[in-house]
Homo-oligomer: A and B are copies of this chain.
Amino acid sequence: MTVQDLLPSSLDCGDCPIRHRAVCARCESDELKRLEEMKYYKTYEAGQTIVWSGDRMDFVASVVSGIATLTQTMEDGRTQMVGLLLPSDFVGRPGRDTAAYNVTATTDLLMCCFRKKPFEEMMIATPHIGQRLLEMTLDELDAAREWMLLLGRKTAREKIASLLAIVARRDASLKLKSPEGKMVFDLPLTREAMADYLGLTLETVSRQISALKRDGVIELQGKRHVTVPDFDRLLDEAGDDSDGGFLV
């Protein structure tokens, strides 16, 4: 796998990710223009909740910069992350009017939004936008199911390695690898958020990260800055059959 393979085809031009990833892969210019007219930006601070599960959600959006999470919670407080939104990811449920999960900004966040109503009208008027949405939803479904394998069957160490691989791959899509072939990135999540992602406790996350560091699978500068000297080794630790998979 080369660095080129990691580059999502969608991020090579323009300023607003939604143009490429979500909607406009095959847009004619006049449709693009209508989208441009519809879009607006919103910012959120780290920690801020964007919508609560069950709330009315009258927009769809694409993450421009920053990280957000989708989480589900039980009455007693147990929480499970069910989606991780990285830059260029899409959020929103055309055809549904309430949110099914809590959406929370875990870093400062910039989102490119469209009011849902006109977006849906545009979807109906421009069938291939609907097709694109279907494709993206299928991607999300694949990611969710890969994640289910992780939650149900992987060990704590494999879970951590999987998460690191996902973030490394997504991050490498934006930057290039260092000259020596090392992958370098910052963890966008606290230990607690990682635990909620992986179905673990934050203590176990901390221990396993320490273990991977001790065993030379990763290097750590500070608490968040990670260097992966050998990505294949990391994939191996993750127990991933497919090196491609896991779209998130």
Binding site for B on A (CB under 8 A): 70, 72-76, 78-80, 82-83, 93-96, 100-101, 123-124, 127, 130-131, 133-135, 137-138, 140-142, 144-149, 151-153, 198-199, 239, 241
Count of this chain's copies in the oligomeric assembly: 2
A151 partner residues in chain B, CB cutoff 8 A: 148, 151-152, 199
B74 touches A149 (CB 8 A): yes
* A/B interface sample: 21 pairs, CB < 8 A: A74-B149, A74-B153, A75-B239, A79-B153, A80-B149, A80-B153, A82-B148, A82-B149, A83-B145, A93-B138, A124-B127, A124-B131, A130-B131, A130-B134, A134-B134, A134-B137, A137-B141, A141-B144, A147-B148, A148-B148, A151-B199
What separation, in Å, do the CA atoms of A106 and B163 have in the docked complex? 32
A199 touches B72 (CB 8 A): no
> Distance in Å from the Cβ of A165 to the closest Cβ of chain B?
15
Minimum CB distance partner of A132 in chain B: B95
A148 touches B80 (CB 8 A): yes
A133 partner residues in chain B, CB cutoff 8 A: 134
A127 partner residues in chain B, CB cutoff 8 A: 124, 127, 130
B145 touches A100 (CB 8 A): yes
What separation, in Å, do the CA atoms of A94 and B138 have in the docked complex? 9
What separation, in Å, do the CA atoms of A129 and B235 have in the docked complex? 39
What separation, in Å, do the CA atoms of A202 and B134 have in the docked complex? 36
Minimum CB distance partner of A54 in chain B: B242
> Distance in Å from the Cβ of A146 to the closest Cβ of chain B?
7
User: Quick one: which of B78, B130, B147, B153 contacts A153, CB cutoff 8 A?
Assistant: B78
Minimum CB distance partner of A70 in chain B: B145
A82 partner residues in chain B, CB cutoff 8 A: 145, 148-149
Minimum CB distance partner of A144 in chain B: B144
What separation, in Å, do the CA atoms of A181 and B142 have in the docked complex? 38
Minimum CB distance partner of A142 in chain B: B100
User: Quick one: which of B72, B74, B79, B138 contacts A95, CB cutoff 8 A?
Assistant: B138
A72 partner residues in chain B, CB cutoff 8 A: 145-146, 148-149
Interface contacts beyond A134-B134, A134-B137, A137-B138: sample of 4 additional A-B pairs, CB < 8 Å, sorted by A? A72-B145, A95-B131, A124-B131, A133-B134
A123 partner residues in chain B, CB cutoff 8 A: 131
A198 touches B145 (CB 8 A): no
What separation, in Å, do the CA atoms of A144 and B75 have in the docked complex? 20
> Distance in Å from the Cβ of A92 to the closest Cβ of chain B?
10
